Chain A
Amino acid sequence: MCPINTVVCIKPVPDIRYWDRLSLDPATKTLRREGIPIVISPMDKNAIEEALRIRQARGGKVTVVSMGPLNTEDILRSAYALGVDDAVLLTDRTFAGADTLATAYVLSEGIRKLGNVDLVLLGNESLDGSTGQVGPQVAEFLGLPSITHVSEITFTDETTVQVKSNIELGFMRIETHLPAVLAVTGDINVVHIPSVWGALWATEKSIAKWTCAELGAETGRCGLTGSPTWVPEVAPIDVKRRGEVLKGEPTQIAVQLIEKLRADGVLPEI
């Protein structure tokens, strides 16, 4: 069987253990992340784990790619600890402020530069932004098929995969030829705890750093300049409970309840 070379796109997100220390900058509507440790977005870790399983079964190489500032190196080292073969950091001031489209453009340029890629995996959505857009966008830029919400990947022959793609009340089975982009969910596997050997690999292996110029990317399509979307408002949702006691016989209470739910728009009018 021929080996499969997989690229996994990973994103740094604030460590959930410290989320109570995050705050919103009222001027820029972005999270103040200074001093908060970063980790690999959880579903991206599932993507790494799946890539490692494919490597175990089929051979080949697993490369992680991430776009971010220099401190993103931390999560690439964590990816090495999990057992990946190579890591690439796409880092340039031009990339700052990117929305999902600009991010996907840069990632796709990184994947193009790597070359010889059979499969691209990434988490279906990140822990912080949760848009779920980057996977399909990367696929579009690379001209590849993409499938999202993937909870199972099986090879039906050398270069064809059948995946289980979750939908609201069930799943679809979809086949596609490689190369392809698959966005995986958290239930695809259980990520292993790295071994202490991973701690050595994490420190001994090198991380390639590619700038905008080295990628040959168009600066106008990167970062804030290349972002057609922006966040105009972020506000916390204030959830308050409204307690009300309905009295009477059970049938009377039922009638009152239905009237109230209709008035609140929870139940439709018949």
Chain B
Amino acid sequence: MPFELTPAEEQVRKIAREYTEREIIPIRKKLEKGGAAVWWDECAKQLVKQTEIGFHLLIIPKEDGGTGIGFVARCIAIEEVCSGWPGINDPWYRCEFAYKFVKATGGEVEKKWLPRIIKGTARAAPFMTEPTGGSDVMNITSTAKKVSDGWVINGRKIFLSGGDVDFGMALVKTGDPADPKTRGPRALSAFVIEKGMPGFKWGRLENTVTRQQELREAIFDNLFVPDSCLVQGVGRGLQSVLGAVNDIGRMNITSHLNGIILGTYRTASQYAKERKLYGKPLADLQGIQFRLAEMAVDLEITRCLTYRAAWLRNQGKRGDTEMAVAKYFATQAAMRDAMHCVCIHGTYGVLEDYMPQRYFRDVPVRMMAGGTDEAMKNMIASAVINDANPDLSSKNMQDAGW
């Protein structure tokens, strides 16, 4: 695979870095002190700026109104923006989910929402996790029953991020346990559920250690959805949702973690050059140099893994296992490097007015989102053991240079 970024990807990095320096870094203190209310308010403002720049159009093909620059450029943009403030790409990220969902659904749903998505005024999120567990999708309990011209959905979803989105793609059970044809993955279907549909309401809000990105509960109480909201047919829900989770969700979270690694690396190296101890810069001390070297190595590796998985998507290939590899590595590296950054800053690293503690607090949240480390290792192990896996068979691993 080529190891150089394309000229368009290089330009996207410059644009994303300029946006971060001019729009995000100056509002850091406000974001830190403001809590959830300020967060959502700022997200609304940044959505306008981010969609004006067109970050949400990077992976949308030209025929749908996007730029088609691709997934690698997207990873680069998320990395730069999240290095300024973890998660501040969330506004445009929700437009990307919206795009993926409406393309999977097609028909009336696509016709209604696509123009708004291109304008940057439609946002969506996956509605997957239930109290039974996020990793255990096969045991979700929300159900959808067929009625004359649609479906009636009952159940609830928790830990939904993205705030008050316009719609979501909900994974629910449509299968009959007595019918062998509708067991296993074929028991699950996906539906687009729009805000304002009778029977749908938001429930409890939970805040995380980020102190701003609240997670929501969605309640479906005899919620009626028309047939046009069924995604790709009965029993095809898992495939649809997991495709969106890998392309949009997991790739975003991995790039977000890369942004944390990049941010900690830049912050720590700058501080080490400026701060003096024993009459000379911290950066002259070998112990500090070793920490910085480890951070630099982590940054190189995580970028290579993430860009490779994104590059596969640019070629029209799946790359799900490659993305799992990247995500798993990124969570481990981000945790290490956030700790390095805190340690290099000493006590300043744990003060609220400084970034190291903010990066550090963010990492555990990303470890749980888009598939836990254990779920990623399951995927990778399955690919290693199962030669029939088209994503990462033993032959493909050799081709990939493993």
**Which residues on A are within 8 Å of B, measured CB to CB?**
20, 77-78, 81, 193-200, 202-203
Contacts and interface: CB of A to CB of B under 8 A. Distances in A.
A77 B11 contact: yes
Interface residues of B, number: 22
18 contacts: A20-B273, A77-B7, A81-B11, A81-B14, A193-B22, A193-B53, A194-B53, A195-B52, A195-B54, A196-B73, A197-B54, A199-B8, A199-B11, A199-B67, A199-B73, A202-B8, A203-B7, A203-B11
Nearest to A190: B22
Interface in B335-353: none
A20 B269 CA distance: 12
Nearest to A202: B11
B282 interface: no
A198 B69 contact: no
Contacts of A198: 11, 15
B67 A193 contact: no
B324 to A, nearest CB: 28
A202 B19 CA distance: 17
B6 A196 contact: no
A249 B379 CA distance: 80
Contacts of B52: 195
Interface string B4-24: 001110011011001100110
Interface of B: 6-8, 11-12, 14-15, 18-19, 22-23, 49, 52-55, 57-58, 67, 69, 73, 273
B69 A199 contact: yes
A20 B270 CA distance: 10
A71 to B, nearest CB: 13
A76 to B, nearest CB: 12
A77 B8 CA distance: 10
A199 B15 contact: yes
Contact of B67 (A77, A81, A194, A197): A197
Contacts of B18: 193-194
Contacts of B57: 196-197
A76 B273 CA distance: 33
A194 B49 CA distance: 11
Given A194-B18, A198-B15, 6 more contacts: A78-B11, A81-B15, A195-B54, A196-B53, A198-B11, A202-B7
A101 B7 CA distance: 34
Contacts of A202: 7-8, 11
Nearest to B52: A195
| Interface SS of B by simple majority | helix
Contacts of A20: 273
Given A77-B11, A202-B11, A203-B8, A196 B22 contact: no
Which 10 A-B pairs rank lowest in CB-CB distance, beginning with the nearest?
A: A199-B11, A196-B54, A203-B7, A203-B8, A195-B54, A202-B11, A199-B8, A199-B12, A195-B53, A194-B15
A174 B34 CA distance: 48
Given A202-B7, A203-B8, A203-B11, A196 B19 contact: no
A198 B52 CA distance: 12
Contacts of B273: 20
A163 B116 CA distance: 42
A77 B53 CA distance: 17
B45 to A, nearest CB: 14
A213 to B, nearest CB: 29
A200 B22 contact: no
A39 B8 CA distance: 16
Nearest to B270: A20
Contacts of B7: 77, 202-203
Contacts of A203: 6-8, 11
A222 B180 CA distance: 84
Nearest to A81: B11
Given A195-B53, A196-B57, A197-B54, A78 B14 contact: yes
Given A78-B14, A195-B53, A195-B54, A200 B19 contact: no
Nearest to B57: A196
A104 to B, nearest CB: 29
A193 B15 contact: yes
A45 B169 CA distance: 44
A200 B58 CA distance: 10
A269 B18 CA distance: 51
Nearest to B18: A193
A78 B11 CA distance: 8
A193, A197, A200, A203: residue with the most chain B Cβ atoms closer than 10 Å:
A193
A196 B55 contact: yes
Contacts of B73: 196, 199
B12 A196 contact: yes
Contacts of B54: 195-197
A194 B69 CA distance: 15
A152 to B, nearest CB: 22
A193 B19 contact: yes
A188 to B, nearest CB: 17
B69 A196 contact: yes
A194 B77 CA distance: 13
Contact of A200 (B23, B49, B53, B69): B69
A194 B12 CA distance: 9
Contacts of A81: 11, 14-15
B14 A196 contact: no
